[in-house]
Chains A and B, each alone.
Chain A
Amino acid sequence: MTRYLEDVRVGEEIPALVRRPSRLQLFRFSAVTWNAHRIHYDRDYAAEEGYADVLVQSHLHGCYLMDTLLAWAGAGAHVVAFGWRNAAVAVPGDTLTCTGRVVDVSSEGEVSCELEERNQRGELCAPATATVRLERRARGGGADG
């Protein structure tokens, strides 16, 4: 799927991506990022730190939001800038819903978006911003999705 610049409008909603992190996912994400912090896989340690369960990694929140952006923009879209902030913790079993909207479209072909991730209680876990460069539709060409 490729999203073309001409098809994007300010205010357009970015479809939701829902993620339900599991302890298995947190273990695999820690392994692949070489993150040995116990807070992500040791429930006893997490309890000592005052948490109900192990915590979803900061970077995994970012990845959920990046995937939300690319699921809308297309895997080949060139992300120019991206940022997120961890506002609340999440634990395995939470339902994290990532949404977004287009806030600006520049004449140079850059699309600015705001995104956010909320849990099942509606609490904001991670706000994000992104700028993505989209291709223009080839003259005489058609969309493919």
Chain B
Amino acid sequence: MAEHTRESAVEAAFERVQAAVGKVATRHHLGPVGKVAAARFAVACDTPPTLLDEDGLPGGRVPNLYLSSVLGWDAGRHEAELRLDGTGGDVLTDLPLTGLRLMGVGQELTFGRPVLPDTDVLMEMSIDAVERKEGRSGVLLLVTVLRRLVDAASGEELVSCRERFVGR
């Protein structure tokens, strides 16, 4: 993509994203958190075995970063429907970020009570902030996405996650 075309696309995305700041964009019912899926996450992280109980969970809980690391909670899309970089159909799809190439650059999380397996979880997502920056390779956006994960039964907040993405 020519540089001026890319920059135009980023500028257009900035206007679109800025208009969405603060508005709850999506609500998803994730369903009960599976014990095996959470234990697989711990294994994939190479979490020290000394931290894991007989179910493969740290302290009998869902790993702290599990809910904010999983990018898809449904069946997803067929390969032909994915973007060239392999993404699409994930939790970010419903946000107005189309056309941006996103790279995660960190999270800020607060935790409520520990999450136990089988907890039924709802997730709300919104754009928390957007900034336009001049990077080494031209203009880019810093987009902060807010995810709130709550207990579906009680409404109690389990995790609040502000995740920053660089969008090019």
Which residues of A come within 8 Å of B, CB atoms? Answer: 1, 17, 19, 25, 28-29, 31-39, 42, 45, 57-60, 62-64, 66-67, 70-71, 74-86, 126
| A62 in complex: contacting residue of B48, B65, B110, B111, CB < 8 Å | B65
Q: Are A62 and B51 in contact (CB under 8 A)?
A: no
Which residues of B come within 8 Å of A, CB atoms? Answer: 37, 40-41, 43-48, 50-53, 58-59, 63-65, 68-73, 76, 82, 85-88, 90, 103-111, 114, 164
Q: In the complex, which of the residues A36, A60, A85 has the most CB atoms of chain B within 10 Å of its own CB atom?
A: A36
- Give, as a whole number of angstroms, the nearest-CB distance from A57 to chain B: 8
Q: Are A29 and B48 in contact (CB under 8 A)?
A: no
Q: Are B44 and A32 in contact (CB under 8 A)?
A: yes
Q: Which residues from chain B contact A1 at a C-beta distance below 8 Å?
A: 50
Q: Which 8 A-B pairs have the closest CB atoms?
A: A34-B72, A58-B104, A75-B59, A83-B108, A85-B106, A59-B69, A76-B59, A63-B45
Q: Is the interface of A mostly helix, strand, loop or mixed?
A: mixed
- Give, as a whole number of angstroms, the nearest-CB distance from B42 to chain A: 9
- Give, as a whole number of angstroms, the nearest-CB distance from A85 to chain B: 4
